[in-house]
Structure formats: C-alpha cells, structure tokens
Amino acid sequence: MTDLLPYARQWIDEEDIQAVVNVLRSDWLTTGPMVEAFEKAIAKFVGAKYAVAVSSGTAALHAAMYAAGIFKGAKVLVPSMTFVATANAVVFQGGTPVFVDVEPDTLLTDPTKLQKKINPKTRAVVAVDYAGQPCAYDALRDITSHNDLVLIADACHALGAKHNGRKVGTLADLTVFSFHPVKHITTGEGGMVVTDNPEFAELIRRFRNHGITSDHRRRAEMGTWYYEMLDLGYNYRLTDIQCALGLSQLRKLPAWIERRREIARRYDEAFADDSYVKALKVYEKTYHVYHLYVIQLNLERLKANRATIFSSLRKAGIGVNVHYIPAHLHPYYRTSFGTGTGICPVAEVAYERILSLPMFPAMTDEDVTKVIAAVKGVMEIHSA
Ligand SMILES: *Cc1c(COP(=O)(O)O)cnc(C)c1O
C-alpha cells in the first residue's frame, strides 16, 4: 500500500506555509482581518455579493438550512447520490430530508423526479454539483420559483464551475463550498456560504457566532462590552490561520482547475470507446471542474463485481474510491426516516457500478498513464 496513488490530495507550497506563519506572528488568530479578506476574495471569484466563512462545508450547509428557515417538520429535497452531510444538515435543523433520484448518465438530480416529490411541507431544494459538474440549474430554478422554495447549492465539488456561462455561486439562493483537503482548495477544515441576499448573509454571520449580533473584533473597535444573543447559534468560525491558507491557495485555483480538466481530457480519450467502463456524461455549455473523475462499470461485460475490481485496482497501486453510498441506504436514515432500497432506483443501480479514479492537480502525466493502463489491464482480466 506504500505507493498508493490517492484519489485526491492537497497541494501545499512554501507560499502557503509563509502565509500561515505570518498570521501566527500577528495579533489576530481568529475573527481578524484575514477572515474578511478570504470572504471577499471568494465572493469576487464566484461572482456573489456576500460570502461568510465557517468552520467546514458541513457547518456551511447547516448555516444555509438555518438561513433558509428550515424548522421541525419542514421537508427538504436532497439528491440520494451525495455525501451524508448534505442530508444531515437538514436534520440538524429538525427538518426531514426527502431523497430524490438522479439521472443515470450524470448522477445529478433529475428535475422531473424532483418536481414529483414536492408537497405543501416542502421548503427547500438542495442541488449537489456531483463530481464538479453544475446541476441543470435552469430547470431547478423554474421549479423552485414556481413553488416558492429556497434553492441551496451544495457546491462542495464545484468551486469555479460554470453552467451556461454562469458561475456556480450565482445560480442558487445560497451556495455552499468546502475547503477540506480533498476539495479544490484547502484550509485544513473550512467552508463558505455565498449569497446575493444581505439578510441571508447577516443571519449566517450571527449563526456562526453563537447567535450573537457583533463579533469580538467589532466590539474591540467600538470599545464596548455589550452584545446581544438573538437566536441560538454555534461556534462555526473559521480562524485567520485557516483563511490565510485559503487566500494563498485561491491564487493557484485557476491553474489547478485547468490541470484537472487536462487530466479529465486524457481519461475521456482513453475511455471513449471502452466497452468495460463509461465516463459520466457532461452537459453541453458546462465548465466542469472535476473534483472527481467517476467511471461506471459495464457489469454486463465483466465477470467480476465492483468490489473485486476495486481491490484489483488498489492492489495495482491505484487509490480508487466510491462516491457515494446513496445517503438513503445508510442505517441512520433507514432507522430514523424509514428510507431503504427502492426509493431511488437509479442511484442504487449506479452505486454498484461507480469508481472514482485519482484526480488532483499535482498528478503527473505518468500517474495518469499508470491509472489508465491499470484500469484497462484489470478490465481485460475480468472480461466476461
Ligand atoms: C465535502 C462535502 C461536504 C462536507 O464538507 P466538509 O468540509 O467535509 O464538512 C458536503 N457535501 C459534499 C457534496 C461534499 O463533497
């Protein structure tokens, strides 16, 4: 396992390290000027008016649910093919996630199926830009506007992506990003909510700071001790140490996205006419940022199942992974919300076939060649 090429990996350089060290020598380790600088930089990069930094992508989802007014009994539509945090955030606010099936070739929310799940208790829709490809936002926006629902984008895979020339960050009422090390840029742990709505932004600023109206730095500047807690909140703050790292990482993001797209092109070419594996479909007029490169196995042409193919590739040094076990199949959701097999059949079938191949900007051309050769070799061995 020593030489395993991972499916994702951060890229930290000396500039990043220096940025962090500079903050450690400064007055503000948290609630300082780096937080605002990072927020402004992300807002500008994605084209949104407001950005609020929080301690993780999960905290960002929770804050988005709070701003969207999710309460006990409210239903929120979430795709089944996602990380559990997407659905968990609904539950944090007392809401009920309603799982929606995905399209078989993109694994993105199927708008037709989404429409059918709306009822009077539905309050919001979460779109997950799976693998780094934006959802069909025009269709989703039509549905949410028509039914007076809040549209939340879980864009943890899609920082820098575009749909019909419009940036992710401008396509929903609230958009959420993650800065976990496997994502496009990292702050160790970290997240961000962006929005054009000033009230949402203010609610989230309060929510990340115990529900308190002003932060420590603002009170210090104003020379006062007084503050008010208006609602229940959390400590979901992101530190200046982390924001300095994020700012430094952000400068490299455009080049990293280009590199991810270059790697994807090589995979696309290699698997274009392959009878054993198929890449996910990419919509026209989409700028896909490839957090993941996912293939689907053509099990009809193979003697082995996905588990066997997975371990063969791991043994060959390829750190393949599976994204995701459909959320509605986890024991917690089965037990607490009565979900189970059969409610999202497309996601369930896809789950048996998907593999994520290594995809990160520091991968070399030789790494890509090695992955392609290993996939082709393992498929030949298991050919039916
Ligand atoms: C990574 C991720 C999250 C959670 O982000 P964290 O920063 O790890 O809390 C949520 N949703 C999706 C789709 C993700 O990929």
Closest C-alpha residue for ligand 1 atom 2: 156
**342 burial via Cβ count (<10 Å: 0-12, 13-18, 19+):** exposed
pTM exceeds 0.95 = yes
Ligand 1 atom with least separation from CA of 58: 9
Question: Of 75, 162, 167, 183, which residue is the catalytic one?
Answer: 183
Q: Among 58, 109, 126, 186, which residue has the most ligand 1 atoms within 8 Å of its CB, making it the best to mutate?
A: 58
Distance from the alpha carbon of residue 282 to the mean position of ligand 1, in angstroms: 22
**Any idea of the CA torsion for 246, 250, 255, 258, to the nearest 10 degrees?**
90
Distance from the alpha carbon of residue 328 to the mean position of ligand 1, in angstroms: 17
Distance from the alpha carbon of residue 3 to the mean position of ligand 1, in angstroms: 27
Asked if 366 contacts 3 with a C-beta cutoff of 8 angstroms, the reply is: no
Closest C-alpha residue for ligand 1 atom 15: 156
Tokens representing residue 82 in the block: 């996602």
- Distance from C-alpha of 65 to C-alpha of 67, rounded to nearest angstrom: 6
Per-residue pLDDT of the chain (384 residues; tens, 9 = 90+): 458 999 999 999 999 999 999 999 999 999 999 999 999 999 999 999 999 999 999 999 999 999 999 999 999 999 999 999 999 999 999 999 999 999 999 999 999 999 999 999 999 999 999 999 999 999 999 999 999 999 999 999 999 999 999 999 999 999 999 999 999 999 999 999 999 999 999 999 999 999 998 777 777 777 888 888 999 999 999 999 999 999 999 999 999 999 999 999 999 999 999 999 999 999 999 999 999 999 999 999 999 999 999 999 999 999 999 999 999 999 999 999 999 999 999 999 999 999 999 999 999 999 999 999 999 999 999 999
**149 burial via Cβ count (<10 Å: 0-12, 13-18, 19+):** buried
How many Cβ atoms from other residues are within 10 Å of residue 34's Cβ?
A: 27
Q: Among 178, 185, 291, which residue has the most ligand 1 atoms within 8 Å of its CB, making it the best to mutate?
A: 178
